[in-house]
Amino acid sequence: MKHLIALTLFLFSFNLFAQKPCDYSANVNDSIGTYKSTKEYMISEKNFAGNSSYIFYSLALTDGLPTLNVQSINKSKDFLKANCFDKNSKLFLQLNNGKIITLIHIDQENCGTMIRDEKGFDNRVNSGIFMFVKGSFEELKNSPVFMMRIKYLTDTEDYVFKKEFKSELTNEIYFPENYFIDNLKCIE
């Protein structure tokens, strides 16, 4: 009986600490090089007065270079300003342990694309690729993220990360604070 209880407790604790498998949207290895990218994951969602904004992350590894892909989607019937990424753009992550990690945008200017949907909403989709600074992986793997600041060409925006939230768009539950803790292993 003691062995049965011990075995049950062991299996239960093993399941608790098991890591989630990596979920890739692309995993290519050919003569040109290698590329793998995780599926997009919602980090932030804001809905207020008919305006919506969403931030998605995905991690990529291109020929050994790890990057963070950030996609923002803004939706409104009003005017949508363009926030452009350029070579001076940066993404700052403030961790719960007080440290700040800086990611640097690649040298590519991008102001996004405007798309009008069938309901009359303007949708601005903007993507940026940020490179990790040497030594930042260990900090990101060990501490949740408290806040993100994106420095655009002409503006700066702050996002406070929630421990968890249920998306109104997808009706799924997301855990943005622990995104890097859970997913960096997928591109190492």
User: How do residues 106-138 score in pLDDT, each as one tens digit?
Assistant: 988 999 999 988 888 899 999 999 999 888 889
User: Position of tokens 């800086």?
Assistant: 102
Among 24-33, 54-63, 78-87, 109-118, the range with the most confident prediction by mean pLDDT is 54-63
Phi, psi of 112 (to 5 degrees): 90, 180
Residue 123, both tokens: 């949708």
> Would you say 165 and 174 are in contact if contact means Cβ atoms under 8 Å apart?
yes
pLDDT attached to residue 23: 85
Whether the predicted pLDDT of 179 surpasses 50: yes
Q: Does 84 reside within a domain?
A: yes
pLDDT attached to residue 3: 46
pLDDT attached to residue 19: 56
Q: Once rounded to an integer, what is the mean pLDDT over residues 82-90?
A: 92
> Would you say 104 and 151 are in contact if contact means Cβ atoms under 8 Å apart?
no
Q: How far is CA 149 from CA 84, 124, 158, 183, 186, in A?
A: 14, 19, 4, 20, 24
Q: Does 2 reside within a domain?
A: no
Q: Does 15 reside within a domain?
A: no
Number of domains in the chain: 1
The candidate with the shortest Cα–Cα distance to 101, out of 70, 127, 132, is 132
Q: Which domain holds residue 168?
A: 22-187
pLDDT attached to residue 120: 84
More confident residue, 4 or 176: 176
Q: Does 12 reside within a domain?
A: no
Average pLDDT across the chain, whole number: 87
Q: HEC states along the chain?
A: CHHHHHHHHHHHHHHHHCCCCCCEEEEEECCCCEEEEECCEEEEEEEECCEEEEEEEEEEEECCEEEEEEEEEEEECCCCCCCCECCCCEEEEEECCCCEEEEEECCCCECCEEEECCCCCEEEEEEEEEEECCCHHHHHHHCCEEEEEEECCCCEEEEECCCCEECCCCCCEECHHHHHHHHHHHHC
pLDDT band at 30 (very low <50, low <70, confident <90, very high): confident
Whether the predicted pLDDT of 99 surpasses 60: yes
User: How do residues 43-52 score in pLDDT, each as one tens digit?
Assistant: 999 999 889 9
More confident residue, 5 or 160: 160
pLDDT band at 9 (very low <50, low <70, confident <90, very high): very low
pLDDT attached to residue 84: 93
Q: Does 3 reside within a domain?
A: no
Whether the predicted pLDDT of 15 surpasses 70: no
Q: Does 155 reside within a domain?
A: yes
Q: Does 116 reside within a domain?
A: yes
pLDDT attached to residue 106: 93
